[in-house]
Structure 1
Amino acid sequence: MAGRVTSPCVGLCSTTVGDRVCRGCQRLDGEIRDWPALAGEARERRMAELDALRVAVAGRHLVVLDAEALEAQLQRHRIRFRAEQPPLSRAVELLRVGRGRIRDLSRYGLAPRERLDAAALHARISAELMAAAETRRHAAVPLS
């Protein structure tokens, strides 16, 4: 029996509605299509690149004060994350799912760098992630 193919998919694939870059995971449409055929090392490398991008972007807007509290809240709200996923990358998922309901980010182990609510933080982070993914798409970096 084949094992499960690990993926950065967050269950929000906007490529199905015509986007060339997924708004959920920031992968290119071809990457999503070809993901199951990639060697394990190539998948791991790309997931690490996506995590690094999320950490860089989210880190401009958020600070993780308590990674354990963040993880506990992710589990409590049944938000998917990977064991090796850095806390700031996990925070992006938290904001995506809870942006309309989160009132106090400190309860989630997070602190905004600016006076923005969760919805505004999510909007900024998402816009920056999409801009970076579009830049990558235009550079047409093939996967190995």
Structure 2
Amino acid sequence: MTGRVVSPCVGVCSTTVGDRVCRGCQRIDDEIRDWPALTGEARARRMAELDALRVEVAARHLRVVDAEALEAQLVRHRIRFRPEQPALSRAVELLRVGRERIRDLSRYGLAPVEPLDAATLHARLVGELMAAAEARREAEALSRTQNPRTQP
């Protein structure tokens, strides 16, 4: 294995329409721009942070009851995931792609905490992910103004 860290990009970048935080991958616009210049270690760290964010948010609304079924459905529907990606982070990707077509979450190894359809569940996840990502962007901007020497 080369140790290459892939991009968290999912191909729906909303920063091109003016968002400061991407609705697809939850990265800040500057972070998307600077991604190619990051070291492999920095990329891996950020991927882990994004996974942790998705797990934290998804765990409020969703349980993985069969990780093998989830993975099988991701493979079946050709939804990109990483071997080290936590199951709940994978579930967020599944819902992003299939939210309008999924009728029975249990067939995908998932159980919602509340009785919600996939589209409603996805909308809640995206709203909370965006709020958390925006809070991170604001905290980083504040940190840069307070510590100008830490800027790249």
Alpha-carbon distance in structure 2 between the residues aligned to 1:88 and 1:59: 7
Match of 1:24 in 2: 24
Structure 1 residue matching 2:52: 3-state secondary structure = helix
**Residue matched to 2:121:** 121
Which residue matches 1:138? 138
What's the CA shift string for 1:69-111, capped at 9, x where partnerless? 0000001001111111000000000001000000000000000
Q: What corresponds to 1:99 in structure 2?
A: 99
RMSD of aligned residue pairs (Cα, Å): 1.8
2:12 corresponds to which residue? 12
- Structure 1: 5+ residue runs without aligned partners? none
Q: How many residues matched? A: 143
Partner Cα separation in structure 2 for residue 25 and residue 96 of structure 1: 11
Match of 2:23, SS? coil
Q: Give, in angstroms, the shift of residue 57 of structure 1.
A: 0.2
Match of 2:43 in 1: 43
Q: Is the 8 A contact 1:5 1:36 kept in 2?
A: no
Q: TM-score by structure 1 length?
A: 0.94
Question: What is the letter of the counterpart of residue 69 of structure 1?
Answer: A
Alignment partners' CA distance in 2, 1:44 and 1:5: 6
Which structure: larger Rg? 2
Secondary structure of 1:55's partner?
helix
The offset of 1:5, in angstroms, is: 5.3
Poorly superposed stretches of 4+, deviation over 6 Å: none
Tell whether the 8 Å contact from 2:5 to 2:43 is kept in structure 1 after alignment.
no
Residue 76 of structure 2 corresponds to residue 76 of structure 1 = yes
